[in-house]
Structure 1
């Protein structure tokens, strides 16, 4: 049903945290496959991906990952982002009812303060992006990464919560 796509570079620990949050949805059958698009890591990102059973694409464009995805829906995440309990139900409900893109709700403890939300900038993928494969194929241009795809897309907010990747 859903293919998860994560772009990485030297993110072995962050990737492990993100993959751990996907296990329950994989067992439920929501997550069909996970594709890691690596951009020149020199750590053990490839080993983490292999141990988790992910497809590992090295130095390939995002479009190749989208084409290889087995799910009809794609979930783009940053390495280090963690989806909290209940996210899979929120994603499944969205997929069954609505055709457009969606983002997860920032967990209460990780929401920026009001002024930071109003005047600050958010990374385009900080809340994840769930969209149909058809939509992604239509919007992706050569050389685009997941952040380029997510930038400026109007998306519905899901009730499922996410803890964004830390920006250390």
Structure 2
């Protein structure tokens, strides 16, 4: 089972899209909880999270989300990212035999040309991050955000796919 951690700030529409892609996993018991770590939203982000049954953390960011997570495995996602059908099988296989962190493959319909990826800036969570709670705890001790936790981390490529969030 997974705890999903999502950091947000004024991302009500993007958060709703990401949460919708997690519904079947919650029904099947793959997702135990979704923790929404707010970074000062002034829109309806809190209401969206509350109506979806998420754990809402109004402060503390991803470090607090890691601390509060109940599952041994955490899945960090950006608001707006959507997981493609079949991702649950990929995660289950990974969890059953590997302890290192993993990232999803970009869905073929969402792949951007190499040059555009290079010059668009590097977001460490663009492909999500599947990581053990223990490893995330050791990386988040200094109150780091999700991007800082994910940056520079050696990961295994999962065969599940993600459609990355389009960032403003």
* Same fold at TM > 0.5: yes
Matched ranges for 1:138-153 at <5 A: 138-153=138-153
Using the TM superposition, give the Cα deviation of residue 4 of structure 1 relative to its aligned residue in structure 2, in angstroms.
Answer: 0.1
CA distance in 2, matches of 1:25, 1:167: 25
| Other structure's SS at 2:167 match | coil
Using the TM superposition, give the Cα deviation of residue 120 of structure 1 relative to its aligned residue in structure 2, in angstroms.
Answer: 5.5
| Equivalence for 2:167 | 167
| Equivalence for 2:16 | 16
Cα deviations across residues 13-44 of structure 1 (Å, max 9, x unaligned)?
Answer: 00000000001111111100000000110100
| Equivalence for 1:134 | 134
CA RMSD, 1 decimal: 1.3
CA distance in 2, matches of 1:22, 1:156: 22
Using the TM superposition, give the Cα deviation of residue 116 of structure 1 relative to its aligned residue in structure 2, in angstroms.
Answer: 3.5
List runs of 5+ in structure 1 lacking aligned partners: none
CA distance in 2, matches of 1:60, 1:117: 30
Cα deviations across residues 58-117 of structure 1 (Å, max 9, x unaligned)?
Answer: 022422211211111000000000001001110111000101000000010111113335
| Equivalence for 1:2 | 2
Q: Is the 8 A contact 2:60 2:143 kept in 1?
A: no
Q: Runs of at least 4 residues of structure 1 off by over 4 A?
A: 117-120
| Equivalence for 1:111 | 111
CA distance in 2, matches of 1:119, 1:63: 29
> Which TM-score applies when normalising by structure 1?
0.95
CA distance in 1, matches of 2:160, 2:134: 23
Cα deviations across residues 115-162 of structure 1 (Å, max 9, x unaligned)?
Answer: 335666431000000000011111113230000000000111111110
> Which TM-score applies when normalising by structure 2?
0.95
| Equivalence for 1:48 | 48
| Other structure's SS at 1:20 match | helix
CA distance in 2, matches of 1:118, 1:13: 27
CA distance in 2, matches of 1:33, 1:51: 14
| Other structure's SS at 2:142 match | coil
